[in-house]
């Protein structure tokens, strides 16, 4: 479900020390179920791995860092936000908000909840671009109703919405502005056609698998086109260099790509080597959704 080790590092400041009540549990991360009153759902595979326990409303991660530590994470706070610009009709229900439009999708795998906010994107006679009733360059977040989500009033969720609007929207601005410029739109269309033409046909299999692979390829292609505007060449070269030494054995391990980048920057000063702002790059990577991380890995990781 999640890259638990990435969550363990991301929430390091919230971990607390723990003294096991039994000698058996003290030396075994996977033997805390009875003490915690929770169910073990992800056993630790080694001393540097974390064990994950589940109970109503939260997960508890157990690991070693200067002794045994626990990290409690509420399920309602394990949400992902993805801000998308949808320039053209994509087959989804658009009766209330036709393209071009901006979408902010909320997904929470832990609670099984999903929410979607949409707003039309328009350009007035003065050349101003509008997201609903907010101008693109205003920086003011519109009211977003997510009443269907159990965590809609959660302070972290509301802070995350604000962060997405303040940081992700400016990253999308060049793409949005380009869509209203005929010359730039033509260039983007040519790039999309080239990307589609270079996509190899999926391996032979049943029709359903073929459809799924085609959809996956299309999702990745769209994300890669957007990501190419967020990262400059030097940043992409740095990420590609790190990915040469990283192998993602499971799909879930793709989450938290920034951790691998940060480690190499700290150990080898790759930011100086490639002449990039390391902190700015890490901020961009941390803001990526899971789908965007996969798209970046697919684009830059070497074939194995």
pLDDT, tens digit, 9 for 90 and up, residues 191-240:
556 555 554 544 445 676 777 777 778 778 777 767 776 788 889 999 99
pLDDT in tens, 23-70: 545 458 899 999 999 999 999 988 788 999 999 999 999 998 888 899
Q: Which two tokens stand for residue 216?
A: 């996956």
Answer yes or no: do 52 and 103 share one domain: no
pLDDT of residue 57: 93
Higher pLDDT residue, 158 or 219?
158
Indicate whether 268 belongs to any domain: yes
**Bigger pLDDT: 185 or 168?**
168
Q: What is the pLDDT of residues 108-148, one digit of tens each?
A: 888 989 899 999 999 999 999 999 999 998 889 999 989 99
CA-CA distances (angstroms) from residue 170 to 27, 83, 134, 163, 267? Answer: 49, 11, 14, 11, 31
37 within some domain: yes
Is the pTM above the cut of 0.85? Answer: no
Q: Select from 139, 154, 180 the last residue of a domain.
A: 180
Examine residue 272 and state whether it is found in any structural domain, yes or no.
Answer: yes
Q: Is residue 120 part of a domain?
A: yes
pLDDT of residue 27: 59
What was the pLDDT predicted at 18?
84
Indicate if 90 and 26 belong to the same structural domain: no
For residue 31, the SS3 value is helix
Q: What integer pLDDT is reported at residue 195 of this predicted model?
A: 52
Separation CA 56–CA 85 (nearest Å):
36
Q: What is the mean pLDDT of residues 273-283?
A: 90
C-alpha Rg value of the chain to the nearest Å: 22
Structural domain boundaries, residue 277: 231-300
> Which comes out higher in pLDDT, residue 275 or 12?
275
Asked whether residue 56 falls in the same domain as residue 92, the answer is no
How far the first Cα of the chain sits from its last, in Å, is: 24
Domain count of the fold of the chain:
3
**12-19: which pairs have CB atoms within 8 A and are 24 or more residues apart?**
12/65, 14/71, 14/72, 14/73, 15/63, 15/65, 15/69, 15/70, 15/71, 16/69, 16/70, 16/71, 17/67, 17/68, 17/69, 18/62, 18/68, 18/69, 18/70, 19/68
Tell me: do 84 and 174 sit in the same domain: yes
Count of CA atoms in the C-beta half-sphere (13 A) of 259? 15
Instruction: Output 175 or 43, whichever has higher pLDDT.
Output: 43
Shared domain check, 115 and 33: no
With a cut of 60, say whether residue 287 has pLDDT above it.
yes
For CA atoms 31, 36, 37, 42, give the dihedral sign: negative
Specify if 195 maps to a domain: no
């Amino acid at each position: 479900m999640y890259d638990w080790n990435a969550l363990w590092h991301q929430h390091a400041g919230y971990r607390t020390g723990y003294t096991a009540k039994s000698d058996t549990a003290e030396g075994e991360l996977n033997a805390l179920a009875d003490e915690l009153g929770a169910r073990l759902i992800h056993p630790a595979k080694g001393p540097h791995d974390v064990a994950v326990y589940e109970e109503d409303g939260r997960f508890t991660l157990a690991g070693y860092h200067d002794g045994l530590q626990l990290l409690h994470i509420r399920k309602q706070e394990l949400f992902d936000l993805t801000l998308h610009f949808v320039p053209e009709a994509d087959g989804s229900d658009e009766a209330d908000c036709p393209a071009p439009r901006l979408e902010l999708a909320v997904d929470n795998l832990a609670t099984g909840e999903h929410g979607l906010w949409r707003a039309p994107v328009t350009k007035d006679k003065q050349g101003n671009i509008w997201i609903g009733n907010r101008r693109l360059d205003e920086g003011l977040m519109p009211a977003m109703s997510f009443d269907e989500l159990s965590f809609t009033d959660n302070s972290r969720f509301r802070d995350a919405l604000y962060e997405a609007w303040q940081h992700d929207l400016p990253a999308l601005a060049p793409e949005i502005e380009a869509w209203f410029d005929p010359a730039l739109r033509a260039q983007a269309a040519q790039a999309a056609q080239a990307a589609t033409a270079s996509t190899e046909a999926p391996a032979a299999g049943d029709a359903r698998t073929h459809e799924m692979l085609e959809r996956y390829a299309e999702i990745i292609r769209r994300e890669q086109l957007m990501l190419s505007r967020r990262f400059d060449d030097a940043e992409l070269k740095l990420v590609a260099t790190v990915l040469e030494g990283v192998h993602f054995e499971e799909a879930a391990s793709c989450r938290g790509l920034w951790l691998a980048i940060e480690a190499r920057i700290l150990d080898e000063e790759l930011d100086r080597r490639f002449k990039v702002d390391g902190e700015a790059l890490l901020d961009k990577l941390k803001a990526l959704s899971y789908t965007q991380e996969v798209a970046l890995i697919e684009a830059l990781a070497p074939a194995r």
